[in-house]
Chains A and B, each alone.
Chain A
Amino acid sequence: MLARQTQSRTLHWLGRQLFNRDDPAAFFDPLLERINPMWVQAYTPARVEQVIEETADTRTLVLRPSRRWSGFKAGQHVNICVDVGGVRRNRTFSLSSSPILWREQGRVTLTIKRLPGGRVTNWIHDELQAGMVIGVGEAFGNFLVPEPAQPVLFIAGGSGITPVLSQLETMAATDYRAPVTLLYFVRTEADVIAREKLQALAARYSALTVTIITTHEGASPRYLCAADFDRIPGIRARQVYLCGPKGLMDLARDLLHQRDIDDTDIHSTFFSVPQADLGKEALGGQVRFAESGIDVGSEGDANLLDIAEAAGLTPQHGCRMGICHQCSCRKTSGTVVNRLTGQASGPGEETIQICISVPRGPVAIDL
């Protein structure tokens, strides 16, 4: 969650009495924001200190979050919130710097690629400048390097390199004593993100081997293949970390399975949230948005947030992938299936995250 609730019970109580809200400190945000945007209380503000162009479509933001931010572990990501055209938008990005940089200098970096048609990434590329302040949430995710040290293989594709950069930097700084191999897939040489940093890391950290593979520079595409794994010593003893486009991740998983590498040794991350098998039962159904008095039908595995928006409603939401709970709503009747777990809810009244809830039969929501 981006909102930080006050810890003190007395303050919390007083906040409710005086301002009718749980976060009394944020009552003065509209004024504080004007004086110094870094004093805002409703979310953790982070000043953009520098913008570094990595490639034609990727830039790295050097951020200085307010000191009350709790920090992170290498490989984790954060939600950021920005106002684009008057609309507050939340997106998740991996932190690309090492936690040591945060501890020592109070800085973190995000490395962000422009996505075709992406509202937020394009805004970050076209509008965001050094000196501006954005909101960051607490770090989350368990794409973490093994402790104690074990041999590791990273397979990254495109901007999937970002959490790996943070991990490699941390491993080098802490002298992680086990072989570490990175297979980094990019379309062309021009798409390599943080080339100098990778080269410098490989030079000073002898356990690390970096192989950059361009997929679209030859006559025919050159994808990950079994031979790539033949060159990696002791691959069966490695913990494998996958981060990149779905095609690369699926291919890697298949090839790893062929070598009898267990799923428990394969770690993956990224914004393609795991999609549970939703079962063969018929999904979709009549949805009643009780507060607005709107009834709409839904088909298939459309989630309730999409259904509500298609019906002209504008429910509060955040990450749209079941992480931030900002879209939590009261379901008063009916059954929904959780897209992440595949679990069906009970039929009665309960709070659900509408962005990952798929109706199974008629459902009534307090919206």
Chain B
Amino acid sequence: MKHMTEAQLSELEKELDAIRDEVIADLGERDARYIRRMVRLHRMLEAGGRVMMPFGFIPPVFVAATATLGVAKILENMEIGHNVMHGQYDWMNDPALHSQTYEWDTVCTGDSWRRTHNYEHHTYTNIIGKDRDYGYAVLRLNNDEPWKPRHSLQFINYLLLSVFFQWGVGLHELETEKLQRREISLRDKLPFLKEFARKGGRQAFKDYVFFPLVTFPVAPIVLAGNIGANLIRNLWSSTVIFCGHFTQDAETFSEQECEGESKGHWYLRQLTGSSNFTGGRWLHILSGHLSYQVEHHVFPDLPAHRYPEISGKVQAVCQKHGIHYNTGSFAKQYGTVVKRVLRYSLPERLTGTVTTA
């Protein structure tokens, strides 16, 4: 991590706080209209997808229905669910958009997400050993973790994780790595597992039992379309999230260097641990504006559609302090992610990197 003095860090803190305060003071009608419009769009897509699906025996309709439902799920998970649960719209005092009560259309329960994502990941971003989102305890993505033979096949693990991403995220709180090390027992995780089974059951019931059953004669088509929609959502959301923290230049941190850190230091870590990708307006909306992962990590509770507006100011602050603002095209960033997954599947002596840990 770039070295900055405490004075520089407090300067950084002040400048970023000023950007935040300006947005907070300006929150109002425009933001409410934006998120309500997204919610309305989601309802239209979801209803449209569900209605079209039974007519999926006509191939183009099948493709359209599956894509529509897939996009509906993406919009709900990324731009609505994720952002609402970050408290970005709590100020609206609308019970339907409140972080504490929102429950999204995916296997992971809102409560579990609030614990593992809002708290763990956003507090300990990219600190190896504390941020369990880093590699999801499945992938080896830097050389702090010693290479083991099983890592050589981790590209397959990565593909599997992407295909079943909602189940992986849903089970994240199980902390299998701690179970394996016998630091915790399955009994400790029973309340979580119960919650997980209930929510997972609901999600599976809806897409794989209820909607196929009510359209009985074409049940296989509806089932296939729903599986397809979930798959589209899983692949897209895992890709967006991988591009947010596992790119070539996204830094990782050790527990020692973050001990007792100041707010300015926390800001610096968020800036250097995250990565953006560029693209058109709808690419940003469909990624829940996590294409502005840097801005999101610095200001997780500002309405996400504001990130493009403040990105210039954040870049200027970075430039002033000589902090690398990690961005690039979607293809370029994704390429470096794939490279990273592949590179760390081999031991250092083969890839030629030097162990720094």
Contacts and interface: CB of A to CB of B under 8 A. Distances in A.
A343 interface: no
Contacts of A116: none
Interface of A: 3, 16-18, 20-21, 26-31, 34, 42, 83, 85-89, 291, 293, 314-317, 326, 367
A86 B119 contact: no
B319 interface: no
A26 B105 contact: no
Contacts of A326: 95
A86 B101 contact: no
B47 A86 contact: no
A83 B104 CA distance: 24
Contacts of B202: 16-17, 20
Which of the listed residues A17, A86, A89 has the most CB atoms from chain B within 10 Å of its own CB?
A: A86
B90 to A, nearest CB: 4
B178 interface: no
A27 B98 CA distance: 15
Interface string B180-207: 0000000000000000000100100110
Contact of B33 (A31, A86, A89): A86
Given A85-B28, A89-B93, A317-B93, A20 B40 contact: no
B310 interface: no
Nearest to A42: B96
Nearest to B198: A16
Contacts of A315: 90, 100
A88 B91 CA distance: 9
A20 B103 contact: yes
Contact of A21 (B90, B103, B199): B103
A86 B40 contact: no
A30 B92 contact: no
A88 B94 contact: yes
A315 to B, nearest CB: 8
Contact of B93 (A16, A30, A87): A87
A291 B114 contact: yes
Nearest to A291: B114
B105 A17 contact: no
Contact of A316 (B28, B40, B98, B105): B98
Contacts of A28: 43, 47
Interface in B262-299: none
Contacts of B118: 291
